[in-house]
A and B are shown apart, each in its own frame.
Chain A
Amino acid sequence: MLGQEYIRFYFERVLKLGDNADWADPDLDHKDWDYEGSTPEIGNFWVRMRLNCDTITDTFENAGMHVISSGSYELYWDGVLLSKNGKVGTSPSTEVPGRFFSQVLVPDSLMTHGVHTVAFRVSNYNSLGLLGSWNHFYLEEFKSTQERGLNLAARMCILAGIFLMAAIYYLLLYLLRKREAVSLIFSIICFLFFGLIIMEYMKFLVPYPYPFHTSRLLIIYLVNFTVSLLVPSFLILYFHIPRRKWLISGLAIFLLIISVILLPGTDITNQYLSIAMWWASFAVAVYAVIQKKKGSQVILGALLLAALIIISYETPLREVLFAYDVNLFLSFAVLVMAMMYLLAKLASEQRKAYEASLLLSSRLQNELLKKNIQPHFIMNTLTSLMGWIEESPKDSVQFIEALSKEFEIMSEIAEEKLIPVQKEIELCAYHIEIMKFRKEIDYVFEYNNIPETEMIPPAVFHTILENGITHSIPDAQNQIKMILDFEQQAEFKKYSIRTIAMNRKTEKSSDGTGLAYIKSRLRESFGTEWKLESEATGNGWETSIYIYQASS
């Protein structure tokens, strides 16, 4: 791309408002002209430059002037009309807007050694008037500008295409899957990057009329502003930084201030917006790393790498006119890739959590089914049944009926995450009946005003009942009473099972697995919105389950 290519710049530029054919004259003394070379005025004016031709410029096979002009012009080389761009007029309607970028082939005969005068007769009636006039050119190998530009544009278009694909993909993800703000924001960021690249590099592909240049710059500014706001916002949302509304509003205001102080549309403004974006993102990343958030180190690394790419860039060839470095886009690309990595990580984690919950449900279903065939239950029950068959066939039939009912209900509820309370009560009633046969203790199971519509996880009360039976000693009347209560408050529902009996002194609590099952079931259906309490009371034991609900 950059080889032994020479570029020749002019060494003087002056401007004068007005219109006079004499001003093309190379011998004209323009001492009293405006050396600023630029005017905020809209109308007709001339711009003159001095240029040196020598052995270096002789090397050009075909000398080409790469002209940038914020107005239609007639180009005079040493007083001779060389080229026209659009039509110079005296009003917006009489003028025909020329291209902002144009190329002029300079014949070899004009390239004699020495100083030459280039004069532009300009009118900019169709300008949007927001920026001052801008007339500039450089001399180089005619083909080079085109080649270089197309080369660069082609590569950047590939990058743009990648951003566009990413934008579409994440938009689809947002629409078709869970509507997460981070996905949508990322999609917009990618789309904006796509737009930014197109806007930047279209100058090589689309020879647009000069009035569009102001619009183009404004669009670039707006895109840049939005990107500078969105990238840190994405990170703030992704890492769940507190007080995000304040932070994002603050950042927006800060970016606006930058824009107002430096003018919107200028290169400096865009640079400062990007720098502000980098610092804001950096602050968020550092905070996230300190908070040990997942993925924070990756984004921090990407930010540092992006900064490194920018800083390490040295410009042997200056793109002077409103152009971004390729390195800037490269560093943006690094950032975008890091953000994409974060999103992929998030998706992977969500997938893992989902699979874990499936596994958990499967495991809990297993545990529930196994309850019936735990040796302690089934072997003792069958041995007891043997005794009943020998002692009283009639009772043993009842025993078997209760047992089969318990098995039936267990199998029915095994696959559910929530079952009607009434079903659970039914299960408990049969279990109590079995235990009455086994232990010959008068178990009484009472339940008060339980609404029919309530749903609870399966075998939870059953487990509590089992624990109660294991840990209780009957009272003087050989009775153990278990009472199920339901309470509905604004913030929660409460189920409590009170065991009225004497507590057995146990050295080791075998409740471990029982309570673990209950907690897993509650977590499965209610996340963190529950509480389990289990403690001795004056006349027995009480186990309570609170299920919290969002107060409407």
Chain B
Amino acid sequence: MKILIVEDEPVIARRLERMIRQILGEQLQDLHTCHTLTTGIQYVKQQEIDLLFLDLNLHGEDGFSILAELLARSFHTIVVSAYKEKALTAFEYGVLDFIAKPFSAQRIEQALERFIQSSAPIQQAARYVAIQKRNRHVLLEIQNISHIKGAGIYAEIYFLDGTTEVHSKNLDKLSQLLPAYFDRIHKSYIVNNTLIKELIVEPGGKYTLFLENDIQLPVSRTKYKELREKWAV
């Protein structure tokens, strides 16, 4: 696991480092600290990381703008901030967790649990998904997503209006952030279950989901067993 801390106060950064090392132990492969946003962004452009602890001054417009840029990337982001009232908005943007300062070791452990177990529920589902365009980023409403298809380390997001966007996060990471009405129906598919019209079982154990917008998606057998009751189809 490769973790980056972006925190401008060295004493706070050191404390966080100590906690992370103590909690993760052998699982931690690399832990690095940057003291400015600029150096932090530079670092993630050059190095691959799995998780970012970000101290962001969210008291102002550009704080969230930078956050969106980082959330479009392949790694999860945990925000550590003094501005507790910004937590809701941060979650809407798609952070994995929001830790208010001052924080305890237990709180950090709780956040890392969520990271390690991708099935562990997060505090608040995202409302937007951040997509990186050429030299800007956009926030697209998750409720407009029809389904998502995994494509290697990326994910292809299909929207109701027919457009498609590519996201740097894989299906596992994305599914952690999505609201409860999104289901993993297949190794390579997540669906917005409000759009489900019917499920067809074909002979030979092939399950196909028909959506309102005429999309057909395959459902794997194992997933079908899990979701059958949930959908009551």
Contacts and interface: CB of A to CB of B under 8 A. Distances in A.
Contacts of B84: 375
Given A507-B62, A508-B60, A508-B61, A383 B10 contact: no
Interface in B44-87: 57, 59-62, 82-84
A379 B84 CA distance: 10
Given A375-B82, A390-B15, A380 B62 contact: no
B120 interface: no
Interface stretch (B25-33, B99-107, B146-154, B200-208): B99-107
Interface residues of B, number: 20
Nearest to B11: A387
A468 B60 CA distance: 19
Interface string B1-17: 00000001111101100
A437 B100 CA distance: 21
B101 A387 contact: no
B15 A386 contact: yes
Contacts of A384: 9, 11-12
A151 interface: no
Interface string A484-509: 00000000000000000000000110
A386 B59 CA distance: 23
Contacts of A437: 11
B133 interface: no
Contacts of A378: 82
Nearest to B10: A440
Contacts of A507: 62
B18 interface: yes
Given A375-B84, A379-B101, A383-B102, A439 B15 contact: no
A375 to B, nearest CB: 4
Contact of B82 (A380, A388, A508, A510): A380
B11 A388 contact: yes
A382 B62 contact: no
B12 A439 contact: no
Contacts of A376: 57, 59, 82-83
A507 B63 CA distance: 11
A382 to B, nearest CB: 5
A386 B12 CA distance: 8
A387 B15 contact: yes
A240 B62 CA distance: 49
Contacts of A390: 15, 18
Contacts of A439: 8-10
Nearest to B63: A508
Interface in A392-447: 437-440
Most B C-beta atoms less than 10 A away, residue of A375, A378, A390: A375
B82 A386 contact: no
A36 interface: no
Interface of B: 8-12, 14-15, 18, 57, 59-62, 82-84, 100-103
5 contacts: A376-B83, A383-B101, A388-B11, A391-B14, A508-B60
